[in-house]
Structure 1
Amino acid sequence: MTPFAPARTTSLLEVSGVSVTFDGFRAINNLSFAIGPQELRAVIGPNGAGKTTFMDIVTGKTRPDEGTVTFGEVPRSLLRMSEAQIARAGVGRKFQRPTVFEDQSVSENLMLALKAARTPWRVLFWRETAKDRARVAELAAQVGLADHLPRKAGELSHGQKQWLEIAMLLAQEPRLLLVDEPAAGMSFLEREQTTALLVELAKTRAVVVVEHDMEFIRRLNCKVTVLHEGSVLAEGSLDHVTKNPQVIEVYLGR
């Protein structure tokens, strides 16, 4: 494999001095790091390291006690914005378990997800257009579901549902995609296809992958951030961080 590309000097996402405490437990402790505008980054660490809380903070689900989170040219910290405002600004999040409309077709799921004005008045008179149908076909092809558009989402395999949810997020045209444990529950072939998909997506946006599967991360061939007790313990290539004695002690040695 070729070495991973270095991060751009200009950051898309910058987390600075962020801390948050829950009932006396400091889940995030002065966390600071940055993601480039077209970068694939893996985030790893033991349970309780702060990986999920980090994503909760970036997406507005959790409000930290202190710190700032800047995103692109957005003039204010994401911490001052609602979850909906953050999503509209271009931050998309995919949870570990796929959340799709199982009784609707793949095509209908994607049509519902298209980025468009969704005010009650416009929804009342909304009709799909040829442009909408073309975009749905494009999204399905992008995630390998071009031949499954008429199928109900509930009939898809676990991996295919994951790809459909990713396509639904892509319909919102995010500049940053947060993906939680995408390899969990997938077959070997699905994992291979997911690896290729995430690598391709990172050519046009930032993609942050939270994952425990070291082999999956190795195939992503990207920079790795190791979290421990709510802060960055190590950063670099997977080979670099897995040789770090502290990483071995708190994570890999378990």
Structure 2
Amino acid sequence: MTIPSLTPTLLYLNNVTVSFDGFRALNALSLAIDQAEMRAIIGPNGAGKTTMMDVITGKTRPTDGEALFEGHHDLTRLDEASIATLGIGRKFQTPTVFEMHTVEDNILLALKADRRPFRALFSRRTAQEKERMDALLERIRLKDHRRRKASELSHGQKQWLEIGMLLAQEPKLLLVDEPAAGMTDQETADTADLLREIAQTRSVVVVEHDMVFVRDLDVKVTCLHEGSVLAEGTLDQVSSDERVIEVYLGR
């Protein structure tokens, strides 16, 4: 199946099923993410949230169904490197940064260009790289920390740095796993602001358990349960759904 090119849909999961020894981690999951849309994905443990991201990034091959990107790239037929090249970036819950390098060098290593470590760290930086660097550091709230080693940053700042490293690769779709986990209240609020800013120019899928944070994002919410979409809509609509209350939010 191919989505018409005029559609604003960037990612379309079409009846995606993933089975592990008879257990269906995803069960005919269908989901559409538009261009420059941020979507929050919620659901109980085992709902299929991580497996869904694994399929999108090529880590897991589905048993059945399609994962279409930009209407014609079937992600289920591509490897992880090819999918990353298409413009899909993923941030895991635990930040992965180069601890002994500075904030600035972490971004330099990620910039979409010739990223061989020797060239990235020791060659003369172009005016364009400097401009992109400054803009990225400003966006991720780390402009005043550019000379600090990543190891010296707070947990929340490391999360922002990794988001900046992904943005440096110019993704069209950013998958973010529980970004608010372990953050202070102020960092959580700043992260919501950051993700809203990012979603003005690219698509963002946020998997999150913190309902206060999801409310701060103020975006469409999809609740997964047993590998399928259980409910979709605003947070108020989803959280008032009797099925969602039963399986996830509790009475």
The normalised TM-score by structure 1 is 0.92
With over 3 angstroms needed to count, the CA separation of the structure-2 counterparts of 1:228 and 1:101, relative to structure 1, is same
Q: Aligned residue for 1:4? A: none
Q: Could you tell me which of 150, 165, 170 is aligned with 1:168?
A: 165
Deviation >4 Å, runs of 4+ = 118-127
Once the 2 structures are TM-superposed, how far is the Cα of residue 120 of structure 1 from its aligned partner? Answer: 9.8
**Whole-Å separation in 1 of the counterparts to 2:134 and 2:8:** 33
Cα root mean square deviation, aligned = 2.0
- Between the two proteins, the alignment pairs up a number of residues equal to 246
With over 3 angstroms needed to count, the CA separation of the structure-2 counterparts of 1:90 and 1:108, relative to structure 1, is same
Once the 2 structures are TM-superposed, how far is the Cα of residue 131 of structure 1 from its aligned partner? Answer: 2.1
The normalised TM-score by structure 2 is 0.93
Q: Aligned residue for 2:47? A: 49
Give structure 2 stretches of 5+ with no counterpart: 1-5
SS of the aligned residue for 1:173 comes to coil
Question: Match for 2:146: what amino acid?
Answer: L
**Whole-Å separation in 1 of the counterparts to 2:147 and 2:122:** 24
Q: Could you tell me which of 138, 145, 154 is aligned with 2:142?
A: 145
Once the 2 structures are TM-superposed, how far is the Cα of residue 78 of structure 1 from its aligned partner? Answer: 0.8
SS of the aligned residue for 2:89 comes to strand
**Structure 1 residues 220-239: aligned runs within 5 Å:** 220-239=217-236
**Structure 1 residues 202-241: aligned runs within 5 Å:** 202-241=199-238
Q: Percent identity?
A: 62
Asked if residue 88 in structure 1 is aligned to residue 85 in structure 2, the reply is: yes
**Whole-Å separation in 1 of the counterparts to 2:199 and 2:141:** 17
Q: Could you tell me which of 98, 104, 108 is aligned with 2:105?
A: 108
Once the 2 structures are TM-superposed, how far is the Cα of residue 23 of structure 1 from its aligned partner? Answer: 1.8
Q: Could you tell me which of 32, 37, 49 is aligned with 1:34?
A: 32
Asked if residue 23 in structure 1 is aligned to residue 21 in structure 2, the reply is: yes
Once the 2 structures are TM-superposed, how far is the Cα of residue 181 of structure 1 from its aligned partner? Answer: 0.2
**Whole-Å separation in 2 of the counterparts to 1:165 and 1:10:** 28
Give structure 1 stretches of 5+ with no counterpart: 1-7
